[in-house]
Amino acid sequence: MKPTTPTSINEDVLEFCKEINPESEPCFVKVSPWEGSEYQDCFPNVERYIKSFGGELQQGWTIWEIPNKFIEAEFHAVWIDGKGNFVDITQKPDREKQILFLPDSKREIKKEPINNIRKVLQDTAEFRTMKILGKKDLN
């Protein structure tokens, strides 16, 4: 099993997002990979994109889930176009067409990576291990 973009903003997802940032609402964001982007390098990707095309950077969290079992938030950056729309310009490994994104402008970006936030919904040894080790796939 591999976490993927939630298909809806259900009660579990909303509760999880409120725990991370109670001042923001999750929203679906279109993925439109820029050919100049590098996989898992969203902040530099967006910064380079802004230099070429303008716009702004919005930091926040990509929300992933295994429905009814596990939810994970990964710190992420998306591009804001001239009309205020969020667009994810970073390539995705599974060619996701959209992501669920929770804006978070208060988190301070530092040189070191920001750990993912995980929540187990189904208490099994596999999902506890996934939470502790950050394992992305249970195959």
Average pLDDT of the chain is 88
The tokens describing 23, both together, are: 């001042």
pLDDT higher than 90, residue 6: yes
- Among residues 3, 29, 26, the alpha carbon closest in space to that of 116 is found at 3
pLDDT higher than 90, residue 100: yes
Calculate what percentage of the chain has a pLDDT beyond 70. Answer: 86
pLDDT tens for 37-56 read 988 899 999 999 999 999 99
Mean pLDDT of 57-67: 95
Q: Which pTM does this prediction carry?
A: 0.86
Q: What is the chain's Cα-based Rg?
A: 15
pLDDT at 139: 38
